[in-house]
Structure 1
Amino acid sequence: MSNVTAASWLAKSLAARGIDHVFFIDAILRRSLVEMEHEGIRRVLVHSEKAAAYMADGYARVRGAPGICFSQAVGAANLAAGMQDAYLAQAPVLAFTGRKVSKYRHRNAYQEVDHPAMFRAVTKTSVDVDDAADLPRLLAHAWRTAISGTPGPVHLDVLGHMGEVLEAGTVVAKVAAGLPTSTLPLHRELAEEAEIEAALARLREAPRVAIVAGTGAMQSGAGDEIRRLAEVLQAPVGTSLGARGIIATDHPLSIGTVGSYSAPPTNQIVAGADVVFFIGCRTGDQVTLDWRIPDLATPVVHLDVDPVEIGRSYPDTIGICGDPKRNLARLLELVGNIPARDGVYAEEAAEAMAEWRRGFAERAGDEGGAIRVEAIMSAITEALPETGIIVADTGFSSIWSCTGIELNGGGQTYLRAAGSLGWSFPAALGAQCAAPDRRVVCFTGDGGLYYHLTELETARRYGIPLVLVVNNNSGFGQSIENIRTVQGDTPGTPEELGLFGPLDFSKIAQEFGIEGHRIEKHADLRPALEAALAGNQPVVLDVVTDIGPRAPVHWKPKSESRT
């Protein structure tokens, strides 16, 4: 048993559980941060609370363990805003904020607002930590909550404007007492045999089965089981953005992301299924294209760790409640002999995807005019190392990357924003901190990069060697055509609503002390990317593109959704 300050206990406990980076903006838990240096934890000082949250998010998604971020009391609102993406993407982040002592409450204390209320919508729970003696118990509770069931962020509000009151208290407990030693998932529940058998009966009877895998399947590490089951069922495999690359994207049964961020053939393939098997995948509007892919009348099998998700959107659902990897393994044991599949559905899907890829490759090779975004995607596919990590922003950055970057289904990882524009650059820094032996490529538009451009200084100061690829089209590419459509023939200047710049980000990078290159010719793109990945310092590649070309547009059925 230890008898130490809370600051010392916290630092030793995080180190004992393999946490080697924390992300913060001053002034918070200063004594703990001093103690963390003694334990070999790198303290990453950033330039905004949201950036700290996003870095912790990227770290958590790569490690499968909690990412840690801190903010003093006045920064709590900014830190809470940064939790939205982690919450939507099911990432386990622990967010610490300071809170003034009780005699200041309800007295209009300077810079003080109700913290739990701000975090309630974007965390699994908010925990008050008022006494150092309770820190081991409450930290263990927060940690378990973050990585159990459907993972997600947890907020800890600690006593003291900067957490200084809690830090000074005494802890009498073993280092890391109660903190789980495992990464995601914390538990691997096996469903009732009857659930698995009922689901298997539906899958056996359907001649055309499509699989849609989601974030939960990726967090469970169920890629091999999904591939094996797909081959048995001759079932095309689509994914949400959170499971992109769960099997090799060039596998004959891989059909890419489904829903509103999809290549055109993908939705058609899933719409043609007799049964759709959702695996660790929430059935929200994006992955189902507003519940049209598949149609709400389609029979569904749904495997998920959270029973609330099963049948949430599709009334004709047979559910399997439990861990995706473990339950798929059991399903494969039981699958036995199934009626022979004629293979036509799978063959049609493979040919449709092959045709799409051929067209994409032709566009990528077109060297006339401005650099095409397809060319950027192809260059990343070709240059990304076998264990590389690609981090993409939301909007067009996600659509381009999830349809155009191919992944090996093994060592490579795809992370994307769950909706917060500007997330990708800080998240990529966190991902690189989590995996120093892997190479990280961040793909963002100029509109997204402006949010956290100052973190270039953070990358330089800590020598975080990611490669930042900027699709620089001097505007919000996803927005401008829609803005012009709304403007119509009405007199005015719609460009004011969606265009900005131009700016040379390579020069900005150089001003921050980072290597930067402006790419204006197709032939210079891949050599520059390969050279950047061969180095060990941060590099910015400012790729000049045109704002006109549209990202791939999903296919949708003519009938309206029946929501």
Structure 2
Amino acid sequence: MNGAEWLARSLKASGQTHFFFVDAVLRRTLLEMERVGVQPVLAHTEKAAAYMADAYGRISGRPGVVAAQSVGAANLAAGLQDAWLGRSPVLALTGHKPLDHQHRNAYQEVPHAPLFAPVTRHAAQVDEAADLPRQFRQAWAAATSAPPRPVHLDLKGLMGEFVEVSETTAEPAALDAWTAPRHRPVADATDLRAAAAALRATARIAIVAGDGAALSGCGAELLALARLLRAPVATSLGARGLIDTRDPHAIGVVGSYSAPPANRIIHAAELVLFIGCDTGDQLTHAWRIPAPGTRIVQIDADPLEFERSYATEVALLGDPRATLAALLTELGEPLRDGTLLAEAQAAMAEWRAAMAPRLASEATAIDPARLAAEITRALPADGILVADTGYSGIWTGTLIDLAPGQTYLRAAGSLGWAFPAALGAKCAAPGRKVVCWSGDGALYYHLTELETAKRRGIAVVLVVNNNSGFGQGWPNYLKQAGNRPVAAEQVLRFGPTDFAALAGQFGLCGIRVERPGDIAAALAEALAAEETVVVDVATDIDCRAPEPWAP
């Protein structure tokens, strides 16, 4: 068969339901995909297509597949940054002009392979269909190994046409069982004994579970360990909801996007158990939480995460879920006093009581805390919540409660990621409801994907935290402007825009909410719909999200 047929049939056999792209690329393959039942999703920008593939990969565990021709490759590479930082399996396909066109000022051609180097684990050039089966399998394996990362195949031809029309004798690849994480090794027995000894001998233990723990799906084992050790559990933003956020052991997100109690509790620990954590500046609030010198036991599937930021007393190299199960067996039934856990529960109760009035606020413009409370109540038991970066991450990560069965996806840093990502998440999980929290500033990046949602019939609930500006930096910038507030407004304010009315222009339903009491009904109507609905909530830019504690 030719390369177009092989690629389309391999994607189908590997469980892919959607293919995200910007024209013009792989046109023969796209026609074959539609024939075999893989849905092509044409996006309006390469970055939006990459964000769709990113979330598709995070939800399905299989690489989200995204493609662009040679001239769009630079935009596609830029869009993979979030997938790289978020440990997401993505397969990026690009075209490149043949060798006899290179270095001759060929139209729109630049050497784009170097642009992919910082945001991909594996890259290969594919010159003909005979090479495609081997390179496809190798790329897929690389994308789903721990930690998952994007990979890149660069196909000969501006649109990959040389690979499409050449032939291969290989059977289509069926890689549907190759999901991330593909391998689940258990840590060495000697290290397990050392870790168990350190944990048994320490009274004030706190646990921090990161994105790697969420990828491993170790919520049940994590909670069992917390109960056994009587230890409080904090998470990274990306691991929000790994255990029930209202569980007595849960203390919320730690680091720079934290509510105050979590950082205080982790800072008060004698020993911190990191599970699947990158120990970067956001998780540790600039490497202050836990304090330097705190004893560290660390579990990770990636050996490069050990000793990255903290000296490690015991390092356990292995899949978090498999290694936690072995550690539970090794620990036995140790006696624990639970002092730190009791302190944590008191601190959490005090903080929740202090926030309760805001969660029930009747103020107009609306306090985003009230919006968070309404989403907590409205999100279905198997719902997916997708949040943008910045203040969207802080509001959702500190004030929306989640339970196992619900899924939280967050931008790893790219503003505007959430709405295209929500569309990709829905493609991967068509039977689940998807709610997207986006600020208005973020939504302007990819507002045109409302047309994609309408055209392809992708149904998500797009909640716009509409405060007519960039709220996170607003008060500090206003303060810096001093007696020139207009200068601050020119930099960080925009609109006002009625996004509900804009939704109507795209042929979609839009609901404008200006009173807190109307949020619940708007969310209920939107969740009941079978198409994308924009819920445009007029919020107060002067309302502050919870702020992290620092020593």
TM over 0.5: yes
* RMSD of Structure 2 on Structure 1 (CA): 1.1
Q: Quote the residue 2:374 is aligned against.
A: 379
TM-score, length basis structure 1: 0.96
Which residue does the alignment assign to 1:129? 126
Q: Return the offset for 1:488.
A: 3.2
**Structure 1 residues 200, 33: CA separation in 2 closer, same or farther (over 3 Å shift)?**
same
CA distance in 2 between partners of 1:529 and 1:356 (Å): 27
Distance in 2 between the 1:147 and 1:548 partners? 43
The structure 1 residue matched to 2:542, chosen from 530, 533, 548, is: 548
> Is 2:438 the counterpart of 1:444?
yes
1:413 aligned residue: 407
SS at match of 1:250: coil
CA distance in structure 2 between the aligned counterparts of 1:482 and 1:471, rounded to whole angstroms: 20
Deviations, residues 464-486 of structure 1 (Å, cap 9, x unaligned): 11000000000000122222233
- Secondary structure of the residue aligned to 2:80 is helix
- In structure 2, what is the Cα distance between the partners aligned to 1:139 and 1:368? 55
Residues 491 and 304 of structure 1: CA distance in aligned 2, closer, same or farther (over 3 Å)? closer
The one of 68, 92, 101 equivalent to 2:89 is: 92
The reply to whether residue 465 of structure 1 matches residue 462 of structure 2 is no
Please, what TM-score do these two structures have when normalized by structure 2?
A: 0.98
Partner of 2:168: helix, strand, or coil? strand
Which residue number corresponds to residue 61 of structure 1? 58
- Secondary structure at 2:282's aligned position in 1? helix
Residue pairs, 1:335-374, within 5 angstroms: 335-338=331-334, 340-374=335-369
- Partners of 2:506 and 2:363 lie apart in 1 by 33
CA deviation map 1:365-390 (0-9, x unaligned): 12133211011101110010000000
- Partner amino acid for 1:320? L
1:274 equivalent to 2:279? Answer: no
Superposed structure 1 runs of 4+ greater than 4 Å apart: 489-492
Selected match of 1:485 from 471, 479, 486: 479
In 2, the alpha carbon distance for the partners of 1:556 and 1:176 equals 51
Matches within 5 A, 1:389-538: 389-408=384-403, 410-489=404-483, 493-538=487-532
Structure 1, 195-204 or 439-448: larger mean CA deviation: 195-204
After superposition, what is the alpha-carbon deviation per residue over 1:26-54, rounded to whole angstroms, capped at 9, x for unaligned? 00000000000111111001100000000
Moved more, 344-353 or 381-390: 344-353
Q: Is the 8 A contact 1:144 1:180 kept in 2?
A: no
Q: Report the secondary structure of 1:167's partner residue.
A: helix
Q: Alpha-carbon deviation of 1:318?
A: 1.3
Q: Distance in 2 between matches of 1:128 and 1:446?
A: 40
In the aligned structure 2, how far is the partner of 1:451 from the partner of 1:128?
31
Are residue 38 (structure 1) and residue 35 (structure 2) matched? yes
Structure 2 counterpart of 1:205, one-letter code: A
Distance 2:375 2:349 in 1: 19
Distance 2:122 2:313 in 1: 29
The equivalent residue for 1:190 is 186
DSSP-derived class of the 2:169 partner? strand
**1:180 positional shift:** 6.2
Q: Retained in 1: the 8 A contact 2:512–2:535? A: yes
Structure 2 counterpart of 1:117: 114
Specify the SS of the correspondent of 1:7.
helix
1:491 Cα deviation after fit:
8.5
Alignment partner of 1:229 out of 225, 229, 233 = 225
2:518 alignment partner, SS class:
helix
User: What's the secondary structure of 1:11's corresponding residue?
Assistant: helix
SS, match of residue 172 in structure 1: coil
Q: How far apart are residue 125 of structure 1 and its match? A: 2.2
Corresponding residue for residue 262 of structure 1 = 258
Question: What is the CA–CA distance in structure 2 between the aligned matches of 1:405 and 1:492, rounded to whole Å?
Answer: 34
CA contact (8 A) 2:13 2:176 kept: no
Alpha-carbon distance in 2 for matches of 1:44, 1:359: 46
The answer to whether the 8 A contact 1:298-1:316 is kept is no
Aligned residues: 551
Amino acid at match of 2:201: E
Kept in 2: contact 1:372–1:545 (CA 8 A): yes
Q: Deviations over 1:121-179 (max 9, x none)?
A: 111122111121110000111111111021110111100000111100101112106x4
Q: CA 1:490/1:518 → structure 2, altered by over 3 Å: closer, same or farther?
A: closer
> Contact 1:364–1:375 (CA<8 Å) still a contact in 2?
yes
CA deviation after TM superposition for structure 1 residue 492, in Å: 6.3
Q: State the secondary structure of the residue aligned to 1:170.
A: coil
Aligned residue among 317, 321, 325 for 1:325:
321
Identity of aligned residues (%): 55
1:310–1:317: 8 Å Cα contact kept in structure 2? no
Structure 2 CA distance, aligned partners of 1:136 and 1:180? Answer: 15
Q: Is the 8 A contact 2:274 2:297 kept in 1?
A: yes
3-state SS, counterpart of residue 287 of structure 2: coil
Report the Cα distance in structure 1 between the residues aligned to 2:459 and 2:312, rounded to whole angstroms: 49
Question: What amino acid does structure 1 have at the position aligned with 2:261?
Answer: P
Q: Structure 1: how far apart are the matches of 2:350 and 2:5?
A: 59
Q: What amino acid maps onto 1:440 in structure 2? A: V
Residue 9 of structure 2: which of 3, 9, 12 is its match?
A: 12
Bigger Cα displacement from structure 2, 213-222 vs 486-495: 486-495
Q: Matched residues in 2 for 1:491 and 1:448: separation?
A: 23
Answer whether contact 2:364 2:539 (CA < 8 A) is retained.
no
Distance 1:553 1:169 in 2: 58
Does the 8 Å contact 1:15/1:40 carry over to 2? Answer: yes
**8 A Cα contact 2:91 2:153, kept in partner:** yes
Contact kept? 1:297, 1:316, Cα under 8 Å: no
In structure 1, the residue matched to 2:297 is 301
Secondary structure (helix, strand or coil) at the match of 1:276 reads strand
Query: Is 1:211 equivalent to 2:207 in the alignment?
Result: yes
Counterpart of 1:208, as a letter, is: R
Q: Check the 8 A contact 1:146/1:154 in 2, yes or no.
A: yes
Q: What SS does the corresponding residue of 2:522 show, helix, strand or coil?
A: helix
**Contact residue 444 and residue 471 of structure 1 kept, 8 A:** yes
Give the Cα–Cα distance (whole angstroms) in 2 for the partners of residues 366 and 491 of structure 1: 28
Q: Deviations along 1:180-229, whole A, 9 cap, x unmatched?
A: 62312111111210111111111111101111111111111111000000
For residues 524-558 of structure 1, the C-alpha deviation after alignment (integer angstroms, 9 at most, x for no partner) is 1011101211221110000001111111100000x
The answer to whether the 8 Å contact 2:73/2:112 transfers is yes
- Contact 1:140/1:180 (<8 A) preserved: no
Give the Å deviation of 1:109: 1.1
Distance 1:490 1:454 in 2: 34
Structure 1 gaps, min length 5 = 558-563
CA separation in 2, counterparts of 1:147 and 1:369?
47
Of the three residues 249, 253, 272, the one matched with 2:245 is 249
CA 1:478 to 1:491, structure 2 compared with 1: closer, same or farther past 3 Å?
Answer: closer
Q: How does 1:158-173 map to 2 (within 5 A)?
A: 158-173=155-170
Deviations 1:250-297 (A, max 9, x none): 000001110000111110010011110010111100000111100110
